[in-house]
């Protein structure tokens, strides 16, 4: 049995050594140096070249090296017969919680506008309305591993938090909405909107002019999910009309964000380089080795996704 690492741009050697640390008997190969393709039963993948995974006819499980699996399922030749497992890891969840808390608190304290006052040498302590935390309404799109955790952490700081998911949820201290019918309701109450949805055909382009028009005027947007959620050309008009006050974006349709992209220099946009949270091989390699052992024993692999739903 051999394990393929197919993650161009990631530290494949580091992943190989972490796998071997947990199971010294594994035969690990790194794309494109693959030996016998028929021997490959398991793959660790991050943005593999389209079509590449289809060439491994004995592949049983693909382990996404992130929480998202859109980078696999958007490949038209992805072998849908294989099991797909994704990262669910306490460090990944903590990293996202820290990112969301940081940028929600920045929005809550009007920090983006205060940064502009500093650049303009303006001392004005009354220019921006400050709210108490319990008057600040936050909406989280996606109440899965990451969204649920962020919602609970924000509620613990005293914020008025709501969340939206595909299926109904009941989470203590969080106002839960579901399905398309619940979307307008959460938008209407969210002064700070955080997107933590998976990118699927259902959610592609969800952050658009129509959605912005349903938020309270002057809302803040935080997108830490996928660039494909945002209709990019709708964002700057929404910011410049005052419909949105600020957008914090970690993810983009094209990454790295092209040098000439207007988001880089816009004063109402904060850009971070898709590092809201990062998979740590030291912790995740253990999960993957255990997942391969489950598959070899004929047991269910943990953290699998529903390929038809796309997450």
Alpha-helical segments (H) within 190-297: 209-214, 235-240, 281-296
Q: Taking CB under 6 A as the rule, does residue 224 contact ligand OXD?
A: no
Residue 227 tokens read as 């660039």
The verdict on whether 226 is a catalytic residue reads: yes
- Exposure string for 257-277, b = 16+ CB within 10 A, e = fewer: beeebebeebebbbbeebebb
**C-beta of 137 vs 277, nearer to ligand NDP:** 277
Q: Kind and range of the H or E element at 100?
A: helix 90-108
Partner in contact with 143, chosen from ligand OXD, ligand NDP, none, beta carbon below 5 to 8 Å by kind? ligand NDP
Q: Which stretch in 52-60, 65-73, 113-121, 166-174 sits in contact with ligand OXD by CB under 6 A?
A: 65-73
With CB under 6 A as the contact rule, the residue among 62, 67, 104, 187 that binds ligand NDP is 67
**Interface positions, 277-306, toward ligand OXD (CB under 6 A):** 279
Q: Kind and range of the H or E element at 138?
A: strand 137-141
The CA distance from 90 to 264, in Å, is 31
Strand partners, 140: 163, 194
The verdict on whether 166 is a catalytic residue reads: no
Nearest-Å Rg of the Cα atoms of the chain is 21
Q: Taking CB under 6 A as the rule, does residue 147 contact ligand OXD?
A: no
Look at residues 281, 279, 291 and name the one whose alpha carbon lies nearest to residue 21: 281
Task: Out of 108, 226, 229, 246, pick the active-site residue.
Answer: 226
Q: Which stretch in 5-13, 64-72, 232-240, 252-260 sits in contact with ligand NDP by CB under 6 A?
A: 64-72
Q: Which stretch in 114-122, 125-133, 164-172, 211-219 sits in contact with ligand NDP by CB under 6 A?
A: 164-172
Q: What is the DSSP letter of 299?
A: P
Angle between helices 90-108 and 145-156 (to 10 degrees): 50
Pattern 67-96, ligand OXD, x by CB under 6 A: xx------------------x---------
Q: Taking CB under 6 A as the rule, does residue 142 contact ligand OXD?
A: no
CB 21, CB 46: distance < 8 Å:
no
With CB under 6 A as the contact rule, the residue among 224, 284, 289, 301 that binds ligand NDP is 224
Least distance (Å) from ligand NDP to the CB of residue 3? 23
Please state the length of the chain.
Answer: 311
Place of tokens 């530290």: 11
With CB under 6 A as the contact rule, the residue among 276, 284, 285, 301 that binds ligand NDP is 276
Task: Out of 97, 166, 246, 274, pick the active-site residue.
Answer: 274
The CA distance from 267 to 27, in Å, is 50
Least distance (Å) from ligand OXD to the CB of residue 116? 29
**Interface positions, 189-218, toward ligand NDP (CB under 6 A):** 196-200, 202-203
Residue with nearest beta carbon to ligand OXD: 66
Residues designated as active site: 226, 274
């Amino acid at each position: 049995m051999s394990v393929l690492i197919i993650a161009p741009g990631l530290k494949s050697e580091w992943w190989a050594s972490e796998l071997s640390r947990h199971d010294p008997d594994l035969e690990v190969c790194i794309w494109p140096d693959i030996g016998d393709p028929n021997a490959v039963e398991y793959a660790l993948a991050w943005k593999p070249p389209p079509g590449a995974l289809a060439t491994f006819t004995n592949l049983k499980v693909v382990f996404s090296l992130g929480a998202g699996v859109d980078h696999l399922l958007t490949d038209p030749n992805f072998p849908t017969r294989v099991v797909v497992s994704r990262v669910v890891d306490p460090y990944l969840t903590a990293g996202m919680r820290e990112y969301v808390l940081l940028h929600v608190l920045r929005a809550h304290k009007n920090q983006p506008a205060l940064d502009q006052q500093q650049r303009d040498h303006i001392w004005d302590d009354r220019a921006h309305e400050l709210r108490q935390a319990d008057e600040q309404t936050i909406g989280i799109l996606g109440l899965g591993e990451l969204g649920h955790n962020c919602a609970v952490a924000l509620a613990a700081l005293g914020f008025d938090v709501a969340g939206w998911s595909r299926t109904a949820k009941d989470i203590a201290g969080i106002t839960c909405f579901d399905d398309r019918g619940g979307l307008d309701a959460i938008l209407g109450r969210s002064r700070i909107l955080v997107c933590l949805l998976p990118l699927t055909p259902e959610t592609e382009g969800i952050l658009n002019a129509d959605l912005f028009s349903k938020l309270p005027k002057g809302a803040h947007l935080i997108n830490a999910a996928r660039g494909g959620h945002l209709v990019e050309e709708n964002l700057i008009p929404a910011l410049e009309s005052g419909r949105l006050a600020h957008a914090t974006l970690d993810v983009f349709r094209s990454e790295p964000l092209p040098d000439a992209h207007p988001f880089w220099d816009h004063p109402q946009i904060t850009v971070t380089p898709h590092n809201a949270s990062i998979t740590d091989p030291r912790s995740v390699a253990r999960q993957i080795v255990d997942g391969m052992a489950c598959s070899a024993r004929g047991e269910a692999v943990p953290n699998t996704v529903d390929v038809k739903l796309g997450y």
